[in-house]
Structure 1
């Protein structure tokens, strides 16, 4: 059926060219975008706008046409007595749904109150050779929506709104940090080591340098190098890559916002992150109250603060402080018949094991915004140890709707302690822990030139949007999610 329609469209294309028409013209000057035109007063003349045809309703001497783009739609009225018989007939002989049309005319409202442009003249702006899906709203093939995201954005209002919200969210994040006097910077994607997070990297090869490199898993250590270099308040909107498992909350390629402030601690950052989330909600959605899993939550209310130990103890009855040895902790989870569903339990370091325990038993229960604090030190190789209890770190995560959306801590700035922790991570990596951190000698050298007190934070734009729009999967929150090659 599709091939037959394509043949008919090709015939129309050839007919237009035979008539001397410019089928794919260079440009069309507009006075308004579609959503702007739809807001004009009745009687406004000389309105020029353009869009893709998404609906045509034919009557004997008039035709209603809908043209669309991602920010809006507009109804058009094509009348034979106003446009002339030749142009009226030419439209019906040459134009299909999916084609692009440029129009000029006068605004009015129909009897039902719909803003409509009465066409005085039109120009053909591009032939679509493939027909659009007829019933896209009921499409059950989710994989096809991801593979052909351009069709999804043409036909699905929910997708349009979500991706527009993503762009607005990114703008508001930048505005917020710039308003707080942070400087936006850029750091390398190609790196010799995979430092800055506990994750498995993607590897690539640099032909000119004849060396293997990693795609960055986080911009952290390079941003901290800039703090060494004299910057005091910085942030980056950074593409990052982690070669880890697929889940509704994880992407292998994602956009992270990460930043650092000299002379701050994690409690200062906690206040900043709350202010940022409230600002982003207002700027993106016009409210601080959103619905998550059917529950209306006002983010302007007080956020709960809970320790890592207390959360796990509450949900598993396991006191992680009683098990400094990871093998004993593994035995205790098995004794309590807690299935962590992982093949790597025997080789995991204690930090990664505790993190997995928390994710499998506790995280999904946290719906309202909650600050999770006091992480075990072996889970945070780059965080500062707590002064009162050196087995814990001065760190927090913001968890909302079962997802970690912000990670922050007071940074470790002692180069001797940092070397010791990275050596321990390197040992874990050589023992089979694929997500343990590599030794980063250049970063240690930078630290040895001296670092001030620092607090840093990071969050994924994709996951933040997923949480705040109550989306089922993070794939819905990126423009072109990666799919398996056909």
Structure 2
């Protein structure tokens, strides 16, 4: 229940100091450290130690009062510890949700429920209120924020009450930190590239458009970091990457958020096979560094990273899962007839054998790829920035990694021929005219950069958010993003 202004004013004036004027509280330890160091000490040993600590945090759960004794639970980011308050009238003005700083002695208090058992506690000697909670805080012992949309709308409360969700974001930090360590050890350099770009290129996605008033021109929010990173290869860098935010004006569901985080990696003088191996080594490294295990559950499947990842061509994967052999399909009419026979809906722009092959793969095969599997040999029509195989101009030297029925990584041998790249952009423009809104812009600046010469290179892109989903065993992308985008409340109704 929301307090009136008069009630709030009384709560503040009852305190010896205005909590909102406090600027600092010097702590000498964290709650987790106290628990780790003193949890196994006996009541008598703690009395002899007479250890004083200064800690700060939020009062959670219900404050319990028994005559002259008061008990409360204090939480900081690292953990929760019980507070013991003896004959302190001022503490009666503290409420659940208040943030306080305390000085006290580590002790153990007898448990009412179980004889001969004690709980690690801090007996307060002095305290100060650092921020006053003006709303009723949910009781973490009896209540969890269950409504999914409401949890994300009030994410601060979700993270406060559901501490396991806070742990997901801590794991996210560790994974991104470990990715950087992995690449830095291999002498890659991280370089930041623009978010506001003149052309939305480097991927197939519908962009957001924004206006710059001073320059009197429209910009796009980037849909990929690929193009500027490849310009860096032209500029003389040989091993570059960027972890950054990407923006795509598309749908929202359990796997997609309009803004998300990716890493793109480029290495001169290497190819798609090298990037495939780099991808596998990175995932094994993260599993050992962060998970400390190589088997876990994801998307209702038991996933194992113990063995080498499976590798299959796209045509072989289709043949294995739906018993169609596209190596025997020689013309578009045959491909379209197969699509009709299997009730596969095609868009107007999907009028090539390669596009039909990809449509079959995405509809009938992708979700069946449970254990880590590299799919390679993509149709060239759907790979406008990749080189074709030397032995087959219709096949791109490209791969994608699938785990638990989801795509996690995309890589290829980068196309560095400006004449061929211009031809690919022109073919893509024709698809856009047929209604494909996700076709990238015709990027003249990138073509000019290629004319100065880009070395042969391997490129790799990984969706960081999906990687976090995998390693924290979450089925929704919203759980691994601190503040995901949501529908408006009026739209929900």
TM-score, normalization by structure 1: 0.91
Mapping of 1:105-254 within 5 angstroms?
Answer: 105-110=104-109, 112=117, 114-134=119-139, 137-254=143-260
1:481 aligns to 2:480 (yes or no): no
Distance 1:79 1:481, change over 3 A: same
User: Matches of 1:412 and 1:299 in 2, distance apart?
Assistant: 31
The question of whether the paired residues in 2 share the 8 Å contact of 1:199 and 1:434 is answered with yes
Residue aligning to 1:368: 371
**Displacement, 1:322?**
5.1
CA RMSD of aligned residues (A): 2.2
Mapping of 1:24-423 within 5 angstroms?
Answer: 24=20, 25-41=22-38, 42=46, 43=49, 45-55=51-61, 56-80=63-87, 88-92=88-92, 94-110=93-109, 112=117, 114-134=119-139, 137-293=143-299, 295-321=301-327, 329-338=335-344, 340=345, 345-348=347-350, 350=352, 354-423=357-426
Question: Where does structure 2 lack aligned partners over 5 or more consecutive residues?
Answer: 39-45, 111-116
Residue aligning to 2:113: none
User: Any idea what the Cα deviations from partners look like across 1:362-409, whole Å, max 9, x if unmatched?
Assistant: 122122111111111111110111112221111111111111111111
Distance 1:169 1:122, change over 3 A: same
Q: Tell me which moved more, 298-307 or 143-152.
A: 298-307
The question of whether the paired residues in 2 share the 8 Å contact of 1:258 and 1:459 is answered with yes
The question of whether the paired residues in 2 share the 8 Å contact of 1:363 and 1:403 is answered with yes
User: Matches of 1:238 and 1:450 in 2, distance apart?
Assistant: 26
SS in 1 for 2:454: coil
User: Any idea what the Cα deviations from partners look like across 1:210-246, whole Å, max 9, x if unmatched?
Assistant: 2222111001010000000000001101111111222
SS in 2 for 1:154: helix
The question of whether the paired residues in 2 share the 8 Å contact of 1:266 and 1:396 is answered with yes
Aligned residues: 470
**Displacement, 1:357?**
3.2
Distance 1:206 1:293, change over 3 A: closer
**Displacement, 1:96?**
1.2
User: Matches of 1:248 and 1:62 in 2, distance apart?
Assistant: 48
Match of 1:449 among 447, 452, 464: 452
The question of whether the paired residues in 2 share the 8 Å contact of 1:70 and 1:153 is answered with no
SS in 1 for 2:37: coil
TM-score, normalization by structure 2: 0.90
User: Any idea what the Cα deviations from partners look like across 1:218-277, whole Å, max 9, x if unmatched?
Assistant: 010100000000000011011111112222111110011111011111111122111211
SS in 1 for 2:287: helix
Residue aligning to 1:471: 474
Distance 1:54 1:264, change over 3 A: same
Distance 1:335 1:297, change over 3 A: closer
